Structure 1
Amino acid sequence: MKKLFLTLALSLAIFASNAQVKTPQSSPLSKVEQVVGLTSVTIEYSRPSIKGRIVYGDLVPYGKNWRTGANANSTVTFSDAVTINGKELKAGKYALFTTPKADSWDIIFYSDTNNWGLPESWDESKVALRASVKPETLSKSVETFTIELANISNDGATLDLLWERTRVSLPFSVPTQTLAMASIEKALAGPSMGDYFSSAQYYYQSDKDLNKALLWINNAISMTPAGKDTPFWYLRLKSLIQAKLGDKKGAIETAKYSLEGAQKAGNADYEKMNKDSIAEWSKK
């Protein structure tokens, strides 16, 4: 009997340690990802349902800050600064709070996103932006709270909140023209100094066309700004490419310039590598 009792107790303990009960969340988590123009917008929030209740004016009182969803903070993340009601909202992640009223809503972007619902102590200095919008009455009731991005164009969209028979729509604009022009200008200007260096380094390390690698590292070196020293690691790469191509004399000459730059910068690692290479390439 004692042995049977111990076996039963052990079995129950194992069952208890392994048991994981899974049930549906009453307010399931949702994630919305959308590119607006060239700006990425991500929304994460939990979605409560009406379930026969009266929402606005009861479950969600008028005139008080609302968590705008359920559970942890509903958040909105912008990859670039956006403009709302003529005000700039910097790129970043924000908690989304609202103050519903019968004739207008305040939409609040709050910099502290680590709250379960509303902050225990509201800090007005953490309000990154506050915007007022008028609510719209829907013809049909929306059972489950919804946040969506609508009216998407190259230059903006609307952040829409829908629940019960109310929709609140907040327009925002994105800096598509600024980003696009910067991208075009960069592309038309051609590869950068770093682009040439990275390409040459890849070709050298991958044993690809070393003549191309030499051309690219020379292009990179030629783009050294006036009055600035050529980066000694650029010169180090050129010397390695020259040596691999069989030009030991040229490699030694370039390595000496790299050594001089490394000594000037106090970089002992590159100083040693250059000295070792010069000694190796000087052997007949």
Structure 2
Amino acid sequence: MKNTRIFSLLALLLAFVFSTAVMAQEQKQKASPAATATGKIGDATVTVNYSSPSVKGRTIWGDLVPYGKVWRSGANEATTVTFDKAVMVEGKPLAAGTYSFYTIPAEDKWTVIFNKTAKQWGTQYDEKQDALRVTVSPTKAKAMNERLKYDVTSDGLLLSWENLAVPVKITTAKK
């Protein structure tokens, strides 16, 4: 009788340990986890949905993210930016809506692209669907960012990764 109880307790303990290990593996963070940045620019609410890759000791600019080529500005699905009101991006009008967000990095100037096809895999970019293209200047980041991140500030969007920051000036559109 005692042996049966001990065996039952041991079996229960082993089942608990095994199930805990399996759940921990399932909850392991993805290589490029989904992230969201949201905030107000004037009276417009802006939301950025993206996947956030890590530097992991790699050379990012000009290597992992090549210069002169369209980049999905995140990982996995295309990064999207949603505006609930019309805005001005670097002085150019952009209607309210959800856009995929791409860039063409260069050492001193970046092309920022808002594309009308929001729901797509990040590598399926079609230039014919561009709603707006603007040029911005990257800057040195205030601190090293291991993970790609977006911030919505009162001045616009800020993409930060590794030692680089890419500000995109956005204001509320004039009526």
Aligned mate of 2:55, from 50, 58, 79? 50
| Structure 1 unaligned blocks of 5 or more | 1-18, 179-284
Mapped partners of 1:135, 1:86: distance in 2: 17
CA RMSD of aligned residues (A): 1.7
Query: Is residue 108 from structure 1 mapped to residue 113 from structure 2 by the alignment?
Result: yes
Aligned AA (2:169): P
Identity level (%): 38
Aligned mate of 2:158, from 157, 160, 163? 160
Name the structure 2 match of 1:125: 128
Aligned mate of 2:65, from 60, 64, 67? 60
Name the structure 2 match of 1:30: 35
Higher helix share: 1
Aligned AA (2:163): R
Mapped partners of 2:164, 2:67: distance in 1: 13
Aligned AA (2:136): V
Structure 1 segments of 4+ aligned residues over 4 angstroms from their partners: none
Aligned mate of 1:135, from 134, 138, 141? 138
* 1:241-280 aligned within 5 A: none
* TM-score, normalised by the number of residues in structure 2: 0.81
Name the structure 2 match of 1:169: 167
SS in 1 for 2:128: helix
Aligned AA (1:28): P
Mapped partners of 2:55, 2:42: distance in 1: 34
Aligned AA (1:43): V
Larger radius of gyration: 1
SS in 2 for 1:125: helix
SS in 1 for 2:77: strand
2:41 and 2:152 in contact (8 A); partners too: no
2:38 and 2:151 in contact (8 A); partners too: no
Mapped partners of 1:137, 1:49: distance in 2: 18
Q: Deviation string for 1:86-124 (max 9, x for gaps)?
A: 3210100000100000111010001102221121xx432
Name the structure 1 match of 2:101: 96
Name the structure 1 match of 2:3: none
* TM-score, normalised by the number of residues in structure 1: 0.51
Structure 1 residue 85: deviation in Å? Answer: 2.6
* 1:170-249 aligned within 5 A: 170-175=168-173, 178=175
SS in 2 for 1:48: coil
Aligned mate of 1:73, from 50, 72, 78? 78
Mapped partners of 1:59, 1:142: distance in 2: 16
Structure 1 residue 139: deviation in Å? Answer: 5.1
Mapped partners of 2:100, 2:142: distance in 1: 29
| Structure 2 unaligned blocks of 5 or more | 1-21
Say which structure, 1 or 2, has more relative contact order (CA 8 Å, 6+ apart): 2
Mapped partners of 1:100, 1:84: distance in 2: 18
SS in 2 for 1:107: strand
Aligned AA (2:29): P
Instruction: Give the number of equivalent residue pairs.
Output: 152
Name the structure 1 match of 2:44: 39
